Chains A and B, each alone.
Chain A
Amino acid sequence: MAPQTLYEKLWSSHVVHQEADGTALIYIDRHLVHEVTSPQAFEGLKLAGRKPWRISSIVATADHNTPTDHWDEGITDPVSRQQVETLDANIREVGSLAYFPFKNERQGIIHVIGPENGTTLPGMTVVCGDSHTSTHGAFACLAHGIGTSEVEHVLATQCLLQKKSKTMLVKVEGQLGRGVTAKDVVLAVIGRIGTAGGTGYAIEFGGSAIRSLSMEGRMTVCNMAIEAGARAGLVAVDETTIAYLRDKPFAPKGELWDKAAAYWRTLKSDEGAQFDKIVEIDAATIAPQVTWGTSPEMVTTVDGRVPDPAQFADPVKREGAERALKYMGLAPNTAITEIAVDQVFIGSCTNSRIEDLREAAAVAKGRRKAASVKRVLVVPGSGLVKHQAEAEGLDKVFLEAGFEWREPGCSMCLAMNADRLEPGERCASTSNRNFEGRQGAGGRTHLVSPAMAAAAAVTGHFADVRELA
Chain B
Amino acid sequence: MKPFQTFDGLVAPIDRANVDTDAIIPKQFLKSIKRSGFGPNLFDEWRYLDVGQPGQDCTNRPKNPDFVLNQPRYQGAQILLARDNFGCGSSREHAPWALEDYGFRVIIAPSFADIFFNNSFKNGLLPIKLDAAELDVLFAQCEATEGYRLKVDLAAQTITRPDGKAIPFDVDPFRKECLLNGWDDIGLTLRHDDEIRAFEAKRRTEHPYYFA
Among A14-22, A335-343, A386-394, the stretch that binds chain B is A14-22
Chain A positions within 8 Å of B83 at CB level = 316
A17 contacts B93, C-beta separation under 8 Å: no
Asked if B90 lies at the interface with its beta carbon under 8 angstroms from chain A, I say: yes
9 nearest interchain CB pairs?
Answer: A147-B119, A147-B93, A149-B122, A39-B33, A252-B209, A145-B91, A196-B85, A131-B91, A148-B93
Q: A23-B174, A146-B115, A156-B186 are in contact. Are A320 and B16 (CB under 8 A)?
A: yes
Which chain B positions have C-beta within 8 A of A317?
A: 17
Give A residues with C-beta under 8 Å from B.
16-17, 19-21, 23, 25, 27, 29, 36-37, 39-40, 43-44, 48, 50, 53-54, 56, 64-65, 77, 79-80, 82-83, 86, 97, 121, 123-124, 129-131, 133, 144-150, 152-153, 156-159, 161, 163, 195-196, 199-200, 226, 229, 231, 250, 252, 256-257, 259-260, 263, 295, 316-317, 319-320, 323, 414-416, 423, 433, 435-438, 441-442
Q: Is the CB of A21 within 8 A of B190?
A: no
User: When the two chains form their complex, are residues A147 and B118 in contact, meaning their CB atoms are under 8 A apart?
Assistant: yes
Tell me the bound Cα distance from A48 to B17 in angstroms.
38
Q: Is the CB of A158 within 8 A of B186?
A: no
Q: Which residue from A40, A50, A146, A320 sits with its C-beta under 8 Å from B18? A: A320
Q: Which A residue sits closest to B114, measured CB to CB?
A: A231
Could you say which residues of chain A place their CB within 8 Å of the CB of B195?
A: 16-17, 25
Q: Is the CB of A16 within 8 A of B192?
A: yes
**Contact in complex: A131, B33 (CB < 8 Å):** no
B70: CB under 8 A from chain A? Answer: no
Contacts of A200 in B (CB 8 A): 114
Nearest CB on B from A172, distance (A): 23
Contact B17 A37 (CB under 8 A): no
| 19 CB-based A-B contacts, threshold 8 Å | A23-B175, A25-B189, A44-B35, A50-B186, A121-B210, A129-B93, A144-B115, A147-B118, A147-B119, A149-B93, A149-B123, A153-B186, A159-B189, A196-B85, A252-B209, A260-B207, A316-B83, A414-B22, A433-B90
The answer to whether residues A437 and B45 also contact, given A124-B210, A229-B113, A320-B17 and a CB cut-off of 8 A, is yes
Among A83, A123, A442, contact of B207 (Cβ-Cβ < 8 Å) = A123
Provide the bound-state CA to CA distance between A121 and B209, in Å. Answer: 9
User: Which residue of A153, A252, A257, A323 contacts B189 across the interface (Cβ within 8 Å)?
Assistant: A153
B84 interface residue (CB < 8 Å to A):
yes
Extra pairs beyond A79-B55, A252-B212 (20, CB < 8 Å): A23-B175, A25-B189, A25-B195, A39-B33, A97-B212, A124-B210, A129-B91, A146-B118, A147-B122, A149-B123, A196-B18, A229-B85, A229-B114, A231-B115, A259-B208, A316-B16, A414-B90, A415-B27, A437-B22, A441-B26
Tell me how many residues of B have a C-beta within 8 Å of chain A: 60
Residues of A with C-beta under 8 A to B71: none
A423-B51 Cα distance, complex, nearest whole Å? 10
Contact of B163 with A by CB under 8 A: no
- Residue of B at shortest CB range from A165? B114
Q: Is B165 an interface residue (CB 8 A)?
A: no
In contact, A157 and B186 (Cβ under 8 angstroms): yes
Binary contact track B1-43/A, C-beta < 8 Å → 1, others 0: 0000000000000011110101100111011111100000000
Interface presence of B200 (CB below 8 A)? yes
Q: Complex: how many Å from CA A317 to CA B132?
A: 14
A-side contacts of B114, CB under 8 Å: 199-200, 229, 231
What is the CA–CA distance of A312 and B89 in the complex, to the nearest angstrom?
24
Q: Is the beta-carbon distance between A79 and B31 smaller than 8 angstroms?
A: yes
Complex Cα gap A157–B191 (Å): 10
CA distance A319 to B190 in the complex (A): 47
CA–CA, A144 and B114, complex, Å:
11
Interface assignment of B111: CB less than 8 Å from any CB of chain A: yes
In the complex, which residues of chain A have a beta carbon less than 8 angstroms from the beta carbon of B162?
A: none
B-chain residues with CB within 8 Å of residue A415 when the two chains form the complex: 27
Please tell me if the beta carbons of A316 and B111 are within 8 angstroms of each other in the complex: no
The answer to whether residues A40 and B34 also contact, given A147-B91, A153-B186 and a CB cut-off of 8 A, is: yes
Nearest A residue to B118 via CB reads: A147
B interface, CB within 8 angstroms of A: 15-18, 20, 22-23, 26-28, 30-35, 45, 51, 54-55, 83-85, 88-93, 96, 111-115, 118-119, 122-123, 172-175, 185-186, 189-190, 192-193, 195-196, 199-200, 203, 207-212
Contact (Cβ within 8 A) B22 A433: yes
- Whether A130 and B200, one on each chain, are in contact in the complex, defined by CB atoms closer than 8 angstroms, is no
Known contacts: A36-B30, A146-B115, A435-B89. The answer to whether A21 contacts B173 by CB under 8 A is yes
Which residues in B have their C-beta under 8 angstroms from that of A80? 31
- Asked if A199 contacts B93 (CB within 8 A), the reply is no
- Is there an interface contact between A435 and B196, defined as CB atoms closer than 8 Å? no
Please tell me if the beta carbons of B207 and A229 are within 8 angstroms of each other in the complex: no
Chain A hits for B203, CB < 8 A: 27
Which residue of chain B has the shortest Cβ distance to A152 in the bound complex? Answer: B186
A34 CB to closest chain B CB (Å) equals 11
User: Does B115 contact A40, Cβ atoms closer than 8 Å?
Assistant: no
Hey, which chain B residues are within 8 Å of A50, CB to CB? 186
The contact of A435 among B20, B51, B172, by CB within 8 Å, is B20
The CA-CA distance from A419 to B18 in the complex, in Å, is 26
Closest chain A CB from B125 CB (angstroms):
11
**Cα–Cα distance between A317 and B85 once the two chains are bound (Å):** 12
A323 to B15, CA, bound (A): 12
Instruction: Name the one of B33, B91, B119 contacting A43, with C-beta atoms under 8 angstroms.
Output: B33
CA distance A123 to B88 in the complex (A): 27
Chain A residues, Cβ within 8 Å of B31? 36, 65, 77, 79-80, 82-83, 416
A131 to chain B: which residues have CB within 8 Å?
A: 89-91, 115
A37 contacts B88, C-beta separation under 8 Å:
no
Interface pair A256/B113, CB less than 8 Å apart: no
* Distance between A133 CB and nearest chain B CB, rounded to angstroms: 8
Known A37-B93, A157-B190: A163·B172 in contact at CB below 8 Å: yes
**In the assembled complex, which residues on chain B have CB atoms less than 8 Å from the CB atom of A153?**
185-186, 189
Known: A40-B35, A150-B122. A17 touches B192 (CB 8 A): yes
B88: chain A residues within 8 A (beta carbon): 195-196, 229
B32 CB contacts on chain A under 8 angstroms:
79
Set of chain A residues within 8 Å of B172, measured between Cβ atoms: 21, 23, 163
